[in-house]
Amino acid sequence: MKDLIITDAPEKEPERQLYFIEKCREWVREHYKDRKPTMNIKTFGCQMNAKDSEKIEGILSKIGFVGADDEKADFVLYNTCTVRENANLKVYGRLGHLKKVKEKNPDMLICLCGCMMQENEVIEKIRKSYRFVDIVFGTHNIFKVAELLYNRIVAKSQIIDIWKDTDMIVENLPSVRKYSFKAGVNIMYGCNNFCTYCIVPYVRGRERSRNPKDIICEIESLVKDGVVEVMLLGQNVNSYGKTLDEPMSFAELLEEVEKIEGLKRIRFMTSHPKDLSDDLIRVMKNSKKICNHLHLPLQSGSSDILKKMNRHYTKEQYLDLVKKIKENLPDISLTTDIIVGFPNETDQDIEETIDVIKQVEFDSAFTFVYSRRTGTPAAKIVDTVPESVVKERFDKVLKVVQNSSAINAKKLEGKTMEVLVEEQNDHDESLVTGRLSNNLLVHFKGNKELIGSLVNVKLNECKGFYYIGEMVY
C-alpha cells in the first residue's frame, strides 16, 4: 500500500475514524487480493461489553472483514471482562492457544480490548510475555479500532493505546446488531459508586451521560430499521443526566423514549437502589411500553455488610423501596444480584439476606460467591471465614432464591401473555423461543418467520424458569 504515512487525517471525530476506515479498506483490498479477510470477536462480561463488540464488529465489517466461527480467522479480538480475577486467567489461557495458531499463520492479527486492559499490571504482562498480540486498547477508545489497526499496519509492531479516563462520547460510527428486532442503546458510560468489591469504576471511568437528543435519534433510527425493543444501558441508569450541561433525569429520558412511534418495548439496566426515584416509579406505572421487569441489585440483606460494601442504603431502606415499587406496580417482576461470602460475613448476616429474599419474593437472582478482586478496597480485608462455610451459606441462599422463583413463575401458568419471538429453538426446530415482558422465556410451536414478532402465547406449563406454551391466534 502506497504512502502509509498519514498527514491529512481529520482531527475531529467521528470524521477522523471514518477516514481511517477508508484507509484500512484500501489496505484490505491490496493485502487480501481476491478474498475477504475473516474476523472472530469473542466477548466476555456484561451487556456493555456486548454493545462495545457490536460497534467494533460494525467498524471491522465496514473495513471489509467478514465473520468467522473459529479463532483461525485473519483478525481475532477478545473484548475482555475483569470483574473477577479468574476472567483474566481465562484470557491468558486462550492467548496461549492463539500463540500456536499464529505460529502457523504469521499474518494473523490479534487484538485485546475491554476492561481487563485498563489494569497496569495486565499491560506490563502483555508487553513482556505476549509480544505476539498486535493491538491493545481499553474501554475508553473503542471507537479508535480502525485508527489503531492502521497504526499496526504502518508500524509493523505491537500497538498499545490505553486511556486512563475520558469525557469523549463518539457517535455515528458503524455498528452491527446481533438481532434485527431488538437492540441495546448506551445512555451513559462509567460509574461513580465505588462499591468496595467492584473494579468497574476503575476500568470504566467516571460517569458521563450521552446527550438525550442523540439517544432519541439513535432509537428512532433503530425503529425505522425494524427494532421493536430497546435495552437502555448504563452501569447505573438512575444517575443518568447528572453530567449534562442541561440536566435531565432518567425518568424524563424514559418519557421521551416512550413517545417514539413504532417502538413497542423498553427495557433498562442496571438500577442502583440508592437513587431510584419516585419519578421513575411514576413513569413506569404510567408507561405502556416499559417492560414489567426491574433489576434491583440487593448484594446483601445485612445493613452491616451493605455499609462495608459502600452501597449507600440499609436493609430497611431497600425493603421500603420495594414496598413502594410493589404498591405502584403490583405485577412487577423483581430480579436482583446477591453476593455471598463478603469478607467476615456472619451467619446472622446471611439470615438477614434470606429474610429480605423471603420478604421481597424475587422472581430470580444472580447469586455469586464473593470473589476477591485485586485493586478494590475489599481486597485488603483479611477474611476469617473458611471456604467450606461460605459454600454452605451459598447453597442455603440459593435454595431460598430458587423456591421464590418457582412460586412466582407458577402464578402465570395458564395465562395468555404477549411474547417477543427471539429465535428458533436450539433443541427442537419445530419450536420458537420468545421472551415475556417479565424477561422469562417461553417455548412454543412456530416457524422462524415469527422471529421479531410480538404474539400472544398461552403459558400451558411452567418448567421452573421457563414455560411451554401455545400461540393464540
Could you read off the pLDDT of 240-256 as tens digits, one per residue?
A: 999 999 989 999 999 99
Model pLDDT, residue 92: 95
DSSP state of 409: H
Q: Do 5 and 155 touch, CB atoms closer than 8 A?
A: no
146 and 192 Cβ atoms separated by less than 8 Å:
no
Residues 348-390 have pLDDT tens digits of 999 999 999 999 999 999 999 999 998 999 999 999 999 999 9
- Confidence (pLDDT) at 438: 96
Q: What is the DSSP string of 134-199?
A: -EEE-SS-GGGHHHHHHHHHHH-S-EEE--S-------------S-SSEEEEE-EE------TT--
Strand ranges (DSSP E) for 288-430?
293-295, 333-340, 364-369, 416-424
Predicted TM-score of the model (pTM): 0.91
Give the span between the Cα atoms of 447 and 332, in whole angstroms. Answer: 30
Backbone φ and ψ of 314, nearest 5°: -105, 170
Percent of the chain with pLDDT over 90: 92
Binned at pLDDT 50, 70 and 90, residue 6 comes out as: low
pLDDT-derived band at 7, boundaries 50, 70, 90: low
pLDDT (mean) for 162-182: 92
Contact 212, 248 (CB under 8 A): yes
Q: Which of 374, 358, 370, 260 is nearest to 315 (CA)?
A: 358
Confidence at residue 3, expressed as pLDDT on a 0 to 100 scale: 43
Segment 103-122 shows an average pLDDT of 96
Q: Which helix (H) or strand (E) holds 355?
A: helix 347-360
pLDDT at 1: 38
Q: What is the mean pLDDT of residues 16-26?
A: 97
The pLDDT of residue 5: 53
pLDDT over 80 at 50, yes or no: yes
Nearest-angstrom CA–CA distance, 139 and 217: 24
Q: Among residues 351, 345, 338, which one has the least CA distance to residue 378?
A: 345
117 band by pLDDT with thresholds 50, 70 and 90: very high
| Long-range Cβ pairs for the range 380-383 (8 Å, 24+) | 381/308, 381/343, 381/344, 382/343, 383/343, 383/344
Secondary structure letter of residue 391 according to DSSP: H
- The mean pLDDT value for 299-308 works out to 98
The region that residue 172 occupies, defined by phi over 0 for left and psi between -120 and 50 for alpha, beta otherwise, is left
Report, as an integer, the average pLDDT of 273-287. Answer: 97
- How deeply is 256 buried, as exposed, middle or buried, from its count of CB atoms within 10 A (0-12, 13-18, 19+)? middle
Mean pLDDT, residues 47-59: 95
> What's the angle, vertex CA 280, arms to CA 275 and CA 285, rounded to 5?
145
- pLDDT tens-digit series, residues 321-356: 999 999 999 999 999 999 999 999 999 999 999 999
**What is the average pLDDT across 158-164?**
96
CB 78 within 8 A of CB 112: yes
134 vs 169, higher pLDDT = 134
Q: What is the mean pLDDT of the chain?
A: 95
Which pLDDT does position 468 carry in this prediction? Answer: 96
| Mean pLDDT score, 210-239 | 97
CB-based contact 340:397 (threshold 8 Å):
yes
Residue 469 clears pLDDT 90, i.e. is over it? yes
Q: How confident is the model at residue 45 (pLDDT cuts 50, 70, 90)?
A: confident
The SS3 of residue 440 is: coil
